[in-house]
Structure 1
């Protein structure tokens, strides 16, 4: 039913719950997994090499995390890093990677990051995505089967 599943991640514990649910679905449907990390250009400038390097390290670590979890399930992952506004880049990635499902947690970053961003990235993706979006709650006891 699903051939290409897009798994956006920011490397947070909350995002990992979405990734886990997406990997379970990829396993069930023998789907290709596209792990995506979006560097938020509203908060990271490309003007300073050390800032870019830090953003790239965070992206690589988050995507390696997805790759490791996928490997444990016998799945391979295509890893993608995009720069821009997260919800817009996630929606653009749907077409770019021919995704027919997006799986993401209802919350990723918390605290000040969440307050600064006016609204939820997940909510914006749900509203704009041309494909189904499975949202995974991050609260304890809310595992997806």
Structure 2
């Protein structure tokens, strides 16, 4: 059914719910998980770019660690990816680049700079433009 699942994360509760769903599906199907964190290139001005990117990459590594730990507990193989760009575009490009069969992502992430998944959101854009199935995992307010 699924050989590879893309699980974009920002380390939020919404992402945690998606990680659980991705792990459940990977465990059932024997799929590998591609964990993805995208550093949004639109979050900082030129004056603060390096500082913000460094901070976001550190946050990304922690978020990817959490996915790897959740999957390891279940014996699921994880490949970690940290990319820079516009989140919805990078998610869609990553799905193609990594040859995944499914995207599993959270629908409520508002962490850090509030950049991930709000109305007119990353998840909405991915769902609208993806040629692959997208499973969204929602966490309530």
Compute the RMSD of aligned alpha carbons: 2.2
Is the CA contact (8 Å cut-off) linking 2:21 and 2:137 kept in structure 1?
yes
Q: How many residues are paired up?
A: 139
Instruction: Give the direction of change, closer, same or farther, for the CA distance of 1:101–1:53 in structure 2 (3 Å limit).
Output: same
Superposed counterparts of 1:1-145, under 5 Å: 1-44=1-44, 48-109=49-110, 113=114, 119-139=120-140
Separation (CA, whole Å) in 1 of partners of 2:50 and 2:114: 22
Residue segments in structure 2 that go unaligned for 5+ positions in a row: none
SS of match in other structure, 1:68: helix
Q: CA deviation at 1:110?
A: 5.5
Quote how far apart the aligned CAs of 1:139 are.
2.2
Task: Give distance in 1, aligned partners of 2:90 and 2:34.
Answer: 13
- Go from structure 1 to structure 2 and tell me whether the alpha carbon gap of 1:23 and 1:44 turns closer, same or farther (over 3 Å shift): farther
Instruction: Measure the CA separation in 1 of the matches of 2:63 and 2:85.
Output: 17
Measured against aligned partners, the alpha-carbon deviations of 1:69-91 in whole angstroms (never above 9, x if no partner) come to 01111112100011011111100
TM-score, L = length of structure 2: 0.89
* Alpha-carbon separation, structure 2, partners of 1:67 and 1:114: 23
Q: Following the alignment from structure 1 to structure 2, what is the Cα–Cα distance between the partners of residues 99 and 9?
A: 16
Q: Which runs of 4+ in 1 moved over 4 A?
A: 45-48
TM-score (norm 1): 0.87
Q: Give unpaired runs (5+ residues) of structure 1.
A: 141-145
